[in-house]
């Protein structure tokens, strides 16, 4: 399957939330001729018993795990929305972030997803790679393909609310600084933020600014 066909499985015509599926890594599937991985692992979303009408999910695990977990979320009624936004490094150079594995896993994920019947209005499970912010360069010759999630990469708090979403569950080890920046605003606008490690029941979190953040100039 070509990147375009795989993309269409994640973003079928007429399905809600799919405008946010990022094409970058799907395009790379063709450019670099990626193949599915052999060690795909079935994962269970232990933290979630049932589909919740008022809830959206952000899976912030290592890319492969995010995609694997998203299939169980799809079985539970959530539509996986990959928003991976990194680019591949210059061939031959070393990179800060591994996009190859995610590109391959998207192929595996699409093969599972095409057999799952999802409602066109299904709530979203946005998929992230928790390694995205790794921008440590041991040498200057390393290619920095790390990336942050910005507020413009996802729907606004208003859009979530207009579509009945008042709860966001983040699946991850913690709330990374880019997510915190976005969800602080969401929280101010009345959306509750929950955190789970993927196994335990999600706990409501109250995001606050650090002293340093309080004194930072706010972006216009």
Partner 1 sequence: MKLIKIPEDKYYEYKIQAMFDCYKWDPQFCDNNTLSKHILILTKKENEEIIKLTKSLDKETRSAEEYLNKNIKIAKKLALPKKILEQIPNMQNYDKKQNIRLMRYDFHPSIDNQLVVTEVNSDCPGGFAESSLLPDLARKTIGMPELEYNSFGEKMVETINNKLNKKGTIMMVHCTCFSDDRQVMQYLGDRLEKEGYKIIYGAADHIQFKEKKAYCILENNQVNIDLIFRFTPLEWLIQMKPRRWDGYFNTLTLSCNHPISIYAQSKRFPLVWKDLEKAGIRMETWRKLLPETMEVKDLGLKKGFIYKPVYGRVGEKISIKEACKDDEYEKILQDVKKHPNQYLAQKRFQSKPLKSEDGKEYHICLGSYTIEGEHAGYYARMSLYPRIDSYAEDVPVLIEK
Residues that bind partner 1 (CB under 8 A): 3-4, 7-8, 13, 19-20, 22-24, 26-27, 30, 85-87, 89-94, 135, 140-148, 151-152, 154-156, 158-159, 218, 220
DSSP 55-116: EEEEEEE-HHHHHHHHHHHHHTTPEEEE-----PPPTTS-BSS--HHHHHHHHHHHHHHTTS
**Closer to partner 1 at the Cβ: 47 or 147?**
147
- Shortest distance in whole angstroms from residue 91 CB to partner 1: 8
**Which DSSP helix (H) or strand (E) runs through 27?**
helix 24-31
**Closer to partner 1 at the Cβ: 145 or 196?**
145
**Closer to partner 1 at the Cβ: 92 or 214?**
92
- Shortest distance in whole angstroms from residue 193 CB to partner 1: 19
- Report how far residue 182's alpha carbon sits from residue 55's, in angstroms, rounded to the nearest whole number: 17
- Shortest distance in whole angstroms from residue 160 CB to partner 1: 10
Residue 169 phi, psi (nearest 5): -105, 125
Q: Report, in angstroms and rounded to the nearest whole number, the Rg of the chain calculated over CA atoms.
A: 17
- Shortest distance in whole angstroms from residue 184 CB to partner 1: 15
- Shortest distance in whole angstroms from residue 149 CB to partner 1: 12
**Closer to partner 1 at the Cβ: 19 or 42?**
19
- Report how far residue 26's alpha carbon sits from residue 76's, in angstroms, rounded to the nearest whole number: 25
Place of tokens 């999802």: 118
**Closer to partner 1 at the Cβ: 144 or 197?**
144
């Amino acid at each position: 399957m070509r990147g375009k066909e795989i993309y269409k499985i994640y973003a079928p015509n007429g399905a809600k939330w799919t405008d946010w599926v990022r094409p970058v890594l799907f395009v790379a599937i063709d450019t670099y001729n990626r193949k599915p991985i052999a060690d795909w692992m079935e994962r269970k979303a232990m933290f979630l018993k049932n589909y919740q009408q008022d809830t959206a999910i952000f899976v912030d695990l290592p890319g492969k795990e995010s995609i694997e977990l998203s299939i169980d979320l799809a079985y539970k009624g959530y539509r996986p929305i990959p928003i991976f936004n990194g680019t591949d490094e210059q061939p031959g150079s070393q990179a800060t972030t591994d996009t190859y594995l995610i590109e391959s896993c998207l192929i595996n994920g699409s093969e599972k997803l095409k057999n799952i019947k999802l409602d066109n209005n299904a709530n979203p499970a946005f998929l992230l790679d928790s390694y995205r912010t790794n921008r440590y360069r041991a040498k200057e010759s390393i290619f920095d393909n790390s990336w942050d999630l910005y507020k413009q990469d996802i729907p606004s708090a208003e859009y979530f609310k207009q579509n009945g979403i008042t709860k966001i569950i983040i699946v991850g080890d913690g709330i990374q600084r880019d997510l915190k920046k976005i969800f602080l605003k969401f929280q101010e606008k009345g959306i509750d933020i929950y955190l789970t490690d993927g196994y335990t029941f999600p706990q409501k979190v109250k995001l606050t600014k650090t002293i340093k953040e309080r004194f930072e100039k706010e972006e216009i």
